[in-house]
Structure 1
Amino acid sequence: MATTEFVYDGARKAGVTIIALVALSSLLAIIYLFAIRRPAARTFKSTHLFGYFMCLLVANVIQGIGTIIDLEWVSRGRVVEGFSCTLQGALKQSGNLGASFWSLIISVHIFLLVFLKIRSNQATFIGIIIATWIVILLIPLIGRFVLQSAELGPYFGIAGEWCWVTRNYQNERIFLECVFTLVTIGISFILYSAIILRIRGKLVKQKNTTWRLNFFSKNNVEGATSNNNYAENNRGMLKIAKNMIWYPISYAVIMTPMTIIRIVELKYDSVPFAWTAISGIVFNSFGLINVILLLYIARAFNQLEVLPQVSPNRMVKVTLERTVSRDSVLGERRGSTESSEWRLKDKNDLLDSTPDVVKVDLPTKPAGTYVAPDSWKTGSAGGKKY
């Protein structure tokens, strides 16, 4: 029979309050990022990382809202069954799954981009966004309306100091939380380790397309002896990879304590509340940590003109287009921006010998043509002449 209420004592009330406040701080940090300090999408050099980062933060928002519902239990002094309990359980499961999914997707995307040099197109990016969110939102619905049975009781309900998947659904707890979290941590570390090894020249691709570890190479950066420009690019990419490695590290540090607590709960009915409180505080700081890391990583990306490549064996096709306005020809300047606008377009690293293209928009009016002052947005009474 399912538990209908869980009464707080003084220690639990204080601990749950702190956990909810930590979740609130994460939520406020994410709101601050979206409203005030949001990095521009172009900062990430058209790699779709920006979109995946935003999805991860949305998952953290869902987590945070689910945890903030704890304040209702604190005000009542107990956890009770009802709509709020079911909602909290669904939000917690959706947010936790979303955090795992998007953390793994970011790791795979970085691996494809840096290690295999594969860039996804816009259609793939949109497809991943839609499909992943459908799965994230569908799993709680399946649990509530498909897996829930009269024999086992409610799928979402009281699970200790808050509401989540109830103890009668242990297999769902294990697979959707513990196993998937550990798999995400393991895969992320493997992928980022491979990236670091390749950029440092310790993981080398042979002519037969196999990979070989070479720890005795004197070159710290792949291609450094053959081309200094490519070596500089590799150093830039190494900096990006070193910054990105903090994502799987932070994910592992944040998720491991709560995962251990849930594994222990499989064998024992309860664990010391102090352990639960500490793991809950760490777990609910995930959104705040992600905001800090995003700003930190965005700064590293922003220092690169373009996203560099790892190997000197592939050339990059770059189309450089310069648009020079009439103001530029006449030495004019509008506002605080330069008249000359430079746009650098990455064409997916394809080999091309086409020279750079310069496009110049010259005046079309014949010499001596009178131009009204209003059209030039100038205070000169006499207008201007070509």
Structure 2
Amino acid sequence: MAQMDDDSGRFTFGKRLGLVFIVQTAGLSAVAVFALLAYIAYGAVKIVPGASRKWRTGTHVHFYFLSLLLSDLIQAIGGMMDIRWIVKSNVEVGPFCTAQGALKQIGDVGVAMASMAIAFHTFSVLVFRWRPDASPKIAFVVLGFIWAFIALTVGLGLGTHKGEDYYGDTQYWCWITSDYPVQRIALEYFWLWFTALLNIALYVPLALVLKGYIIIDGMKVRVPRGEERTHLKITSSNGMKDAGRLALEMLFYPAVYTITVLPIAVVRWRAFAADTVPFAATVVADVLFASSGLLNVILFALTRPALLPERDRRSGTFLDSTVLSEVVATSRPFSSTHGRSMSDPRPEDWSDLRRTQSIPREDLKPLPLGSEILPPVAPMSPLTV
């Protein structure tokens, strides 16, 4: 039984109030994620007779994004289940408790792995200029591995510990009990912490590349001279997007994930060390963790609008949010061949540093969804993320 504050073994008013904050935050995340999924579904079906398809999975990121939203929804549902313990004023082991523990693990690990897949994909496309095949096979393989791993860890955990309190009372809710510290770390905490570190390790260099502070040419990394600094501007249907702004947006990803994961990691490590963790610290950490779904919806809506369907008021259909119309390159020659030294460009690679190269609007063709992010390279076949 969980440690309580009164002699009856029931939660005090303060404990129940803290759990209410967690449930409310999880509820907000659930509503935000469900609303976005419903909006995407609305944009993916033919609602207006004769209308073209309004939303499609144009890049691999779309599949990872949907997996992230699904995991966020599962995670939020697991958090909302705390309402039962608020009503009862204690935690009771049973089928409901087991279900909450399993949902929490599925959601937490699913969010971590989907975030990891998005980070790897974005870094590979923008830094190494990887052009994945238009077929979603790679995305299906990645997501198949992610969900197979989650299913195996949860299924084997339940199957190999039948009759034991594998998922049980962990003081304020249900999860993997303290009798299984190795499983706690290996099957969940490791993936949360690893993803947080990976986000920092990938998105920070990516922001530096987009700002022109470093150049990655093949396997070489170097700091450019002042005259080699690049500055890109991309015109889309949403307006001019500067590479500096895009670089700042890339830093939001590790920042948001770290904000949601770091506090709970600190609290858990203190608990592992048998330190007394103030209940207020537990509530703050879990409120931030429960806000993962809400923050992800806001983050992706602001930084990757092309992942969402957008209605064209003139035609009544949903269009790709971004259409490349102009690339402005200044202050540095580019190489149009990946892997060739940037310091030795061919004459045809040089851009007029004083001219803006424009593509006539009538010649534009919509790019796949998610193509609002382009790498610092010369005008060529666009990279989509």
TM over 0.5: yes
- Aligned partner of 2:207 in structure 1 is 196
8 Å contact from structure 2 (residues 167, 177) kept in 1: yes
Greater relative CO, 1 or 2 (CA 8 Å, sep 6+): 2
SS in 2 for 1:167: coil
Which of 175, 184, 191 pairs up with 2:195? 184
| 8 A Cα contact 1:254 1:286, kept in partner | yes
CA distance in 1, matches of 2:127, 2:243: 10
The correspondence of residues 7-156 of structure 1 with structure 2, limited to 5 A, is 7-36=10-39, 46-121=58-133, 122-146=136-160, 148=161, 153-156=164-167
Change (3 A) 1:201 1:308: farther
Alignment of 1:326-337 (within 5 A): none
Same amino acid, percent of matched pairs: 25
Shift of residue 141, structure 1, vs aligned partner: 1.1
Equivalent residue letter for 1:7: R
- Report if aligned partners of 1:200, 1:238 keep a CA contact under 8 Å in 2: yes
Q: Match for residue 268 of structure 1?
A: 274
In 1, Cα distance between the equivalents of 2:109 and 2:200? 19
Q: Give the count of matched residue pairs.
A: 316
1:372 matched residue in structure 2? none
The match for 1:382 is: none
Change (3 A) 1:22 1:245: same
Output the CA distance in 1 between the equivalents of 2:57 and 2:21: 39
Q: Which amino acid aligns with 1:212?
A: V
Counterpart of 1:174, as a letter, is I
- Tell me the amino acid that sits aligned with residue 36 of structure 1: Y
Alignment-mate amino acid for residue 255 of structure 2 = I
- Asked whether the 8 Å contact 1:261–1:271 carries over to 2, the reply is yes
1:343 deviates by 4.2
Q: What amino acid is the match of 1:277?
A: V
Deviation, structure 1 residue 217: 2.7
Structure 1 distance, partners of 2:28, 2:233, is 40
The alpha-carbon distance between structure 1 residues 14 and 205, as it changes in their structure 2 partners (threshold 3 A), is closer
Match of 1:288?
A: 294
- Matched with 2:353 is none
CA shift in 2, pair 1:25/1:286, >3 Å: same
Q: 1:308 to 1:84 in 2, by over 3 A?
A: farther
Residue type at the aligned position of 2:27: L
2:186 paired with 1:175: yes
Letter aligned with residue 257 of structure 2: Y
Partner of 1:305: 323
User: Aligned to 1:157, what secondary structure does the other structure show?
Assistant: strand
Query: Any idea what the Cα deviations from partners look like across 1:195-243, whole Å, max 9, x if unmatched?
Result: 122223332245xx4423316434441xx6xxxxxx4359755544432
> Cα gap change, 1:9/1:53 in structure 2, threshold over 3 Å: closer, same or farther?
same
SS across alignment from 1:194: helix
- SS of corresponding position for 2:91: strand
Question: Deviation per CA, 1:277-320, whole angstroms, max 9, x where unpaired?
Answer: 1111111011111111111013378764249999942379xxxx
Give the secondary-structure state (helix, strand or coil) at the position aligned to 1:268.
coil
- Letter of the structure 2 residue corresponding to residue 232 of structure 1: K
Letter in 2 for 1:15: G
Alpha-carbon distance in 2 for matches of 1:87, 1:58: 17
Counterpart for residue 214 of structure 1: 223
Write the deviation string for residues 78-114 of structure 1: whole angstroms up to 9, x where unpaired. Answer: 1101000000000001111011101111100101111
Report the residue type matching 2:131 in the other structure. R
| Conservation of the 8 A alpha-carbon contact between 1:30 and 1:288 | yes
Residue identity opposite 2:115 in structure 1:
S
8 Å Cα contact 2:323/2:364 also seen in 1? no
Could you tell me the TM-score, scaled by structure 1's length?
Answer: 0.71
More off after superposition, 69-78 vs 134-143? 134-143
Q: Which consecutive unaligned segments of at least 5 residues does structure 2 have?
A: 45-53, 236-240, 308-319, 339-361, 369-374, 381-385
TM-score (norm 2): 0.72
